[in-house]
Structure 1
């Protein structure tokens, strides 16, 4: 008993047993069997037409001329056509329409033949021509259905493999290296989240990378959306930074830092983008992406930059010359953060006084417009206020030295003050940065990361749409996803790649565009100096060593520590503890009262001279050992200094900001 495969009208295949005649080979005398087997799949439509003809003729003997039968048969025809249309909702639109037309035509002829007789008027001609046409249409449909057929049916078979068999597929749109296909899930039988879960399986079925298949949900429907399939990685070829996209332009105009996979420019409009989180593992191209952004920023005319770089210029040192203020220690970063807390409201007040709801390029110009004057009724002529970019590189170091929530308040208010906060770090987990701060950084530039870390940088809807930076890790330097306000949401889950860049470009930009970049405005400078004191006002001081001269001419004859000692004065009387300690006595002399408080004030002045404006008891460790005073005593003195206005509360437990002496900005 052999088995043949029979294909029905729906494309389903059935193995059926075929008994071979004894004494005949498979190759001999099988022409009739071959023709019969080939004709079998095409017989059902013709048998159906013949059956309708016989049924119509027989029914005329019973119901010919019956009005009641006419009403019943008409209602039955309409009902049967409607049921066919309803039952075909899970099939393709073409099959559903074809089936409904076939049923409607057959039931209409049957009703007419039963009431008037099969040989009345044009009924015989309609039966022969119409019946043959319908049967042939189903035969043609079957002939065109092949296992290799592409299109809607093959797409539905592919979706069936990933659990979306009942999904309806629309007309595909084919572009170079990109196919978009709209889909719709049956009502109540699935959501767009189910589609997101099926994307990895669909990518495997298509034999493309995991992030080559994405879906964009319809914002007005939980069951509709669009598949996007990009079969070839168009980002493999490195594109070197072509130079500033808008040299000398305003920072309010878009910057260009790379390309998307479809060739579109990777653009970011900074004032619209809100604050930015840059994240990527070691080797993912995060530093080159940062250089791209800084090259664009410092080639614009109306911007100043503050940079905190704990790596002390190892990667971004070429940007130092273009910045208004640079710090490279945890203490310096903490001081810059405290300065921002004062600078932001000062800038907000200036903008409000000049009639700006938020920063715009006109705010950077001299204020010669009476509509933007702080003196109502006449032009004020105030200097303009450039846009401020506050960049914290390797921010994890800063957060460890301060507090994981230290940026939250700044991020929530800085945008209206014309300030852009950039936090760059390898992993923005909850252990390193607070949830509130991360929520205040709605824009993100995410390079390759570990699979589990993508959730820290990208919104859930972007990940559900198919974005997967974990697929790159550090194997695709520069590959990224950019999520920011002002960018089409379709592009949020579209892979991009930043330009290949190097510090040479950054150094050239810093030098070449120095003449056109604005200097710091008096409001920002004054607010920063009120917090950082000499650490800000002396930031541009020449640090180069003095020229070497004859050491013998300048060698001091007295130790610098002894210059104030009068050699003729009598020695002071000995006090307890001045000599070697006796068992049970404290070693060395311990200052008390006003003397101890004076030493504490001198310590604050020393911190201020060294540029460390944020202090706490832990910073007095060596000082306490030297003067035999305890950290609790220092804590008490800091609280007393707060009452006197010598220090201010930073909002972080155990940290106080020194109020500097008034100095010119």
Structure 2
């Protein structure tokens, strides 16, 4: 410990005891030592501002040494400078120089410094105008360096990191220490190590205090786990400006198939909020005016571009929200009655697909243009739960059994109450959660999951329409995103462009829907004594006689409905109506989906 530091410590002790310190320097030799220490500290503290002069001094020393030892190296130095300048100008992005003017500046510095060094090596540092060129070039090239935003930000970050021990003590995180720091596009981020016993939850609770200590604007600080997910580490992100202050226009769909992750919008670090919906259900929540409808438009813009997706939708606002996408929606229900029928048909589809997979010895339905996935989108799910409570069992069935057969449920609501979400039965099946701004803190746990509020998912602090938090298997940390903006004109254009891409449901699903709407299921013996008066079709002439002959002569695996339609020349609804009448009279039986035969004496 130096004499000066001892004297300062002694003075502080005297002040604590109410005494006026009197410093007497008995040794005049201490003054030069103290001045040297202060100068060295200043040179180190302002090393970023003085970096151009440090570089100029290094060139002067290097030129002197090379001229005295290796003056014949000047051609190699010049060639190296040219190669370095070209590399920085063309390939600078690989070295972190993402902005074009940054690459040009770096190339100019490399070429200027290398050329001067080659000249000094060949001629000597004192030759002609070389000293003046070095001084003038250092000053001129230092101006862009001093004015550069990232360099200024790096200086500010270094100073804040240097002050972290004092900040940590004042906010209640004593012992935490910085490990690394860097400047990015919209601010800076740093990695910290926590003291023993401290956790990231402790840091999350101190976010307002950290913002105050750093002097940022409200909502500028984010706390994330580190990539190695260590419990005694955390990453601090500080925004200089809000990257989501302005709406971000949608540039078009990011997918062509449901097996690809959908881009909902950018996060604050400029990465994309991509999420996979295949074999997952989704829940979207947010109060009125939070941008929830805009998020649904982004979702629709991508799903309608998928060539292997059939979209069914329920919009109990009489189609006000989803009507612009009507040309791309296979079925749109706008009343509670229509919604119940649609959900009942969706259950029939998943059951038929499950039977088909079991018969083929397969476990999952692989979407393709010929066998598309079915996505059911429900806007204002809370309204459906109130107006059509009988639909709860169907939505629950889809949520529990729809994944393997590629039947996906996406529910959006302003009021994610326990009653609306079926006491948690449906909500617990939702793998993808998107929360726009909510009014009450308790809604965060209802949308994103129990305990998410305490874990730092503060959706109540989102301060602009379209801002959201995304929770999914690949997104397990609270990162703010902003959904792309689709104007009404953009929605209309996208719907028109994607209308021709829409696939049809597969034969298995269409048959299941027709049977469900005709009221026919797999034959049971619930009413074995019931006999309905049916015409004697055996004696009838025309299509009914042909139908009965085909059913009566059908093999054990039954006759397909498509063959019955071809042979009789009648429509599918006509065939199913006759089959229902005959089934109620116990005259025919359904062997499997879409295959029928007459009941023989042996079968009876």
Q: Same fold (TM over 0.5)?
A: yes
Q: Which ranges in structure 2 are unaligned for 5 or more consecutive residues?
A: 1-5, 38-155, 520-582, 585-593, 597-604
Q: CA deviation at 1:201?
A: 2.1
The alpha-carbon deviation at position 289 of structure 1 amounts to 1.2
The answer to whether the aligner puts 1:402 opposite 2:409 as a matched pair is no
Q: How many Å separate the matches in 1 of 2:316 and 2:27?
A: 83
Residues 444 and 452 of structure 2 are in contact (CA less than 8 Å); yes or no, is this contact kept in structure 1?
Answer: no
- Counting only pairs closer than 5 Å after superposition, residues 76-155 of structure 1 correspond to structure 2 as 150=159, 152-155=161-164
Report matched runs for 1:418-437 at 5 Å: 418-433=406-421, 434-437=423-426
Shift, 1:179, TM fit: 2.9
Q: Secondary structure at the match of 2:352?
A: helix
CA drift of 1:198 comes to: 1.6
TM-score, with structure 1 as normaliser: 0.53
Structure 2: distance between partners of 1:180 and 1:449:
28
- 3-state SS of the aligned residue for 2:175? coil
Deviation of 1:478 after TM superposition, in Å, equals 0.6
- Match of residue 261 from structure 1: 268
Judge conservation of contact 1:405–1:436 (CA < 8 Å) in 2.
no
**Farther off after superposition, 308-317 or 177-186:** 177-186
- Cα deviation, 1:70-119, whole Å, max 9, x if unaligned, reads xxxxxxxxxxxxxxxxxxxxxxxxxxxxxxxxxxxxxxxxxxxxxxxxxx
**2:181 alignment partner in structure 1:** 172
Alignment check: 8 A CA contact 1:444 1:482 kept? yes
State the distance in 1 between where 2:484 and 2:331 align: 27
Q: 1:195 aligns with which of 176, 189, 203?
A: 203
Q: Using a 3 Å threshold, how does the CA distance of structure 1 residues 20 and 177 change in structure 2: closer, same or farther?
A: closer
Q: Are positions 1:446 and 2:446 aligned together?
A: no
Alpha-carbon distance in structure 2 between the residues aligned to 1:304 and 1:292 = 17
Superposed counterparts of 1:276-287, under 5 Å: 276-287=282-293
Please report how far the alpha carbon of residue 225 of structure 1 lies from its aligned counterpart in structure 2 after TM superposition.
2.7
Does the aligned pair in 2 maintain the 1:291–1:502 contact within 8 Å?
no
1:317 and 2:323 correspond? yes
User: What CA RMSD, in Å, does the superposition of the two structures yield over aligned residues?
Assistant: 3.9
- The verdict on how the C-alpha distance between 1:245 and 1:190 changes in structure 2, with shifts beyond 3 A counting, is closer
How far apart, CA to CA, are the structure 1 residues paired with 2:509 and 2:457? 40
In structure 1, stretches of 5+ residues that fail to align are: 22-29, 46-146, 366-383, 535-644, 647-661
Q: Is the 8 A contact 1:305 1:390 kept in 2?
A: yes
Question: Does residue 478 in structure 1 map to residue 466 in structure 2?
Answer: yes
Distance, in Å, in 2 between the alignment partners of 1:468 and 1:13 is 48
Out of 344, 365, 372, which is 1:386 matched to? 372
- Aligned match of 1:495: 480
1:299 is matched with which residue: 305, 313, 320? 305
Q: Which residue of 2 aligns with 1:586?
A: none
**Displacement after TM superposition at 1:7 (Å):** 4.9
8 Å CA contact retained: 1:446, 1:469: yes
Corresponding residue for residue 88 of structure 2: none
Contact 1:178–1:230, Cα closer than 8 Å, also in 2: yes
Give the drift of 1:421.
Answer: 0.6
Shift of 1:205: 2.6
Match of 1:416 in 2: 404
**CA distance change for structure 1 residues 14 and 256 in 2, over 3 Å: closer, same or farther?**
farther
Matches within 5 A, 1:615-654: none
- The CA deviation string for residues 167-207 of structure 1, in whole angstroms up to 9 with x for no partner, is 233222332324333333333x3333222222232223334
Query: Structure 2: how far apart are the matches of 1:213 and 1:511?
Result: 42
Match of 1:271 in 2: 278
Secondary structure, aligned partner of 2:365:
coil
- What is the total number of aligned residue pairs between the two structures? 394
3-state SS of 2:246 partner: coil
Once the two structures are superposed, the pairs formed by residues 532-551 of structure 1 within 5 Å of their partners are 532-533=517-518
C-alpha contact 1:318 1:506 (8 A) present in aligned 2: yes
* Partner Cα distance (1:191, 1:172) in 2: 20
Distance in 1 between residues matched to 2:461 and 2:413, nearest whole Å: 19
Q: CA deviation at 1:288?
A: 1.2
Distance 1:510 1:149, change over 3 A: closer
Distance 1:161 1:508, change over 3 A: same
* Larger Rg computed on CA atoms: 1
> 2:252 maps to what in 1?
243
